A and B are shown apart, each in its own frame.
Chain A
Amino acid sequence: MAATAFHQAFGTLRSRDCVTHSGLKHENGSASFKLISKSSKLDIALLNRGTYCSRKRSFSLVQASASQTTVSDPVSTPSNGKTTESKKKSSEAALILIRHGESMWNEKNLFTGCVDVPLTEKGVEEAIEAGKRISNIPIDMIYTSALIRAQMTAMLAMTEHRRKKVPIILHNESERAKSWSQIFSEETKKQCVPVVTAWQLNERMYGELQGLNKQETADRYGAEQVHEWRRSYDIPPPNGESLEMCAERAVAYFKEYIEPQLLSGKNVMIAAHGNSLRSIIMYLDKLTSQEVISLELSTGIPMLYISKEGRFIRRGSPVAPTEAGVYAYTKVMQTFLCH
């Protein structure tokens, strides 16, 4: 075969910045922020937004008078004279986490776990809404679990993405699957966002509770016992996983496969499940097991982290297009937006 395989191209993707916005990653000593208001004319005075950041950063006080468009006032910050280093590789990358919406067993109040149940109409709508919220955030790679409800959430969200790059699910379950899914146009490959599916990002496996409803389960095992399984950190349901076990495989996968992508500047989206995402957040935010038990993730609301120099900064949730709010983009994302 004369043409190069998609997988070879995929390999080279890892080692260079091929996304168009990389040319604009100007590094300054201190980070500066542009504030973009998506609502009508507002005068916004912003102070140190310490609550959103778990690490110390310096902020400039910005007064922006914003109109309905994305026009912003450039903030003047001390420059170290390196503005022309446009090709300098930045270690800043966006990480988006999306928990899938309502599944058909959520609707029926059944324990789902790793049973491969699809989304309801409502879950489909949640995914599309989530897509609108992240339509302006660059995405270079997508990771999902092996379950259809997470994959559909990712694919539905991407139908709303402004960049119009096409997500392509990679297949390596067999030699035939690999060769059959090859792409033979360089131009097309550049317009692709690789999608990797991984069972390690699956929902916590619920063992013998899978398929039972809450009443059945309380009847069978007792309400106390059920509460313990659902809320403890390290006690698994019969033949199932504890949250600790789920965290172990999810975080290990994240560290081995996803973190290197972020370190090389790739923007990543992960579409997965309540427990696997909580596990990853536990790692990103360095939560204790007590804290992670009480952590609840909204369905269909994407969460944004910025990965920079090996640190993860939680940036909250991008606003929906119809919300009148303020969302702080980093400078990098701002320049991405303007293209």
Chain B
Amino acid sequence: MAATSFHQVFRSLQSQNHLNYSNFKQGNENSSFRFISKGFKLDINLLRRGTYCSKRRSFGVIKTSASQNSTAFDPVSAPSNGTTTDSNKKSSEAALVLIRHGESMWNEKNLFTGCVNVPLTEKGVEEAIEAGKRISNIPVDMIYTSALIRAQMTAMLAMTEHRNKKVPIILHDESEQAKTWSQIFSEETEKQCIPVITAWQLNKRMYGELQGLNKQETADRYGTDQVHEWRRSYDIPPPNGESLEMCAERAVAYFKEYIEPQLLSGKNVMIAAHGNSLRSIIMYLDELTSQEVISLELSTGIPMLYIFKDGRFTRRGSPVAPTEASVYAYTKSLAQYRQKLDERFQS
């Protein structure tokens, strides 16, 4: 076969920054932020947004007067170290988006789902599309999902809203035939692809013999106290199932081995997964204790953004929906990426 395979390109993707906006990753010693308001005319006086960051950062105080045209913003003048022409300097800043899938058909029926492969309801589909609108301006270079259809659909539905119009392609390596059959033979097309990797390690916590039972049935069978313990403890698994600790072990191991290197090389990553697997990852990112992670609740369908920079993860909250009137703080490179998208659509 004369043409290159997608997988070769994929490997080369891992070692180079080939995205358009990489030219704009001009790292400064002090991070400066641009604030873009998606709402109406506002005068915003912003102070240190310490609550969003789990690590110490310095913020500039900014006054912006925003109009309804969300693409206009005031460039913030920040101290520059004179390296503004280092446009190709490799930056270690990358975006990490976490999305928990929306309502599944067993959520609706109040059944314990675990690793049973149940699809989304109509509502879950809408939640996924809404999530997509919120992240439509955040660059995505790679997508990781679990092996369950509800997470995969959430990712694919969200990407139908993405503005950069790159096409997610699910990679297949379950067999030699699967690999060869899914090869792409056009360089140009490969560049417009976002590889999607499905991994069972990102699956929902396996609920053992509770899978398929409803909450009443379960309380009847085992007693309410026992059920509460399984659901809320860190290390006590349901019969033949996983504890949160076991789930965290495999999910975080996968994250460290496969996903973190991508972020280190500057790739922007989206993970579409489940309540427990994402909590496990957040426990790692935010360095939570087991007590803290037990009480952590993740909204469904609301994406969470982290910025990975210099080996550290900074939680940046949730990107706003297009109809919300509020302020969302982009990093400089995210803002520039957004601007490029806007320019492309205006021309």
Contact = CB atoms under 8 A, between A and B. Distances in A.
20 contacts: A104-B168, A116-B170, A116-B171, A116-B196, A119-B160, A124-B125, A124-B157, A124-B160, A156-B125, A169-B119, A181-B211, A183-B211, A184-B209, A185-B111, A185-B213, A187-B217, A188-B213, A188-B214, A189-B212, A212-B186
A216 B186 contact: yes
A311 to B, nearest CB: 33
B212 A158 contact: no
Contact of B212 (A113, A121, A183, A202): A183
Given A119-B156, A180-B206, A184-B211, A158 B119 contact: yes
Given A124-B125, A159-B120, A199-B181, 10 more contacts: A115-B183, A120-B160, A151-B149, A155-B119, A159-B119, A176-B200, A181-B116, A183-B211, A212-B185, A212-B186
Interface of B: 1-3, 6, 105-106, 109, 111, 114-122, 125, 147, 149, 152-153, 156-157, 159-161, 167-172, 174, 177-178, 181-186, 188-190, 196, 200, 203, 206, 209-214, 217, 240
A177 B182 contact: no
A107 to B, nearest CB: 9
B115 A181 contact: yes
Contacts of B189: 110, 211-213
Given A159-B125, A211-B190, A105 B167 contact: yes
B150 to A, nearest CB: 9
Given A166-B109, A184-B209, A239-B1, A118 B186 contact: no
A155 B185 CA distance: 30
Contacts of B169: 115-117
Contacts of A224: none
A108 B109 CA distance: 39
Contacts of B212: 6, 183-185, 188-189
Contact of A159 (B122, B174, B190, B217): B122
Given A156-B125, A216-B186, A181 B117 contact: yes
Nearest to A120: B160
Nearest to B114: A180
A168 to B, nearest CB: 6
Contacts of A183: 116, 211-212
B116 A168 contact: yes
Given A210-B183, A239-B1, A148 B156 contact: yes
Interface string A223-242: 00000000000000001000
A118 B152 CA distance: 10
Contacts of A114: 181-182
Given A180-B206, A182-B211, A155 B1 contact: no
Contacts of A216: 186, 188
A169 B149 contact: yes
Nearest to A212: B186
A118 B168 contact: yes
| Residue among A104, A177, A205 with max Cβ neighbours from chain B (10 Å) | A104
Contacts of A208: 1-3, 185
Contacts of A158: 119
B172 A118 contact: no
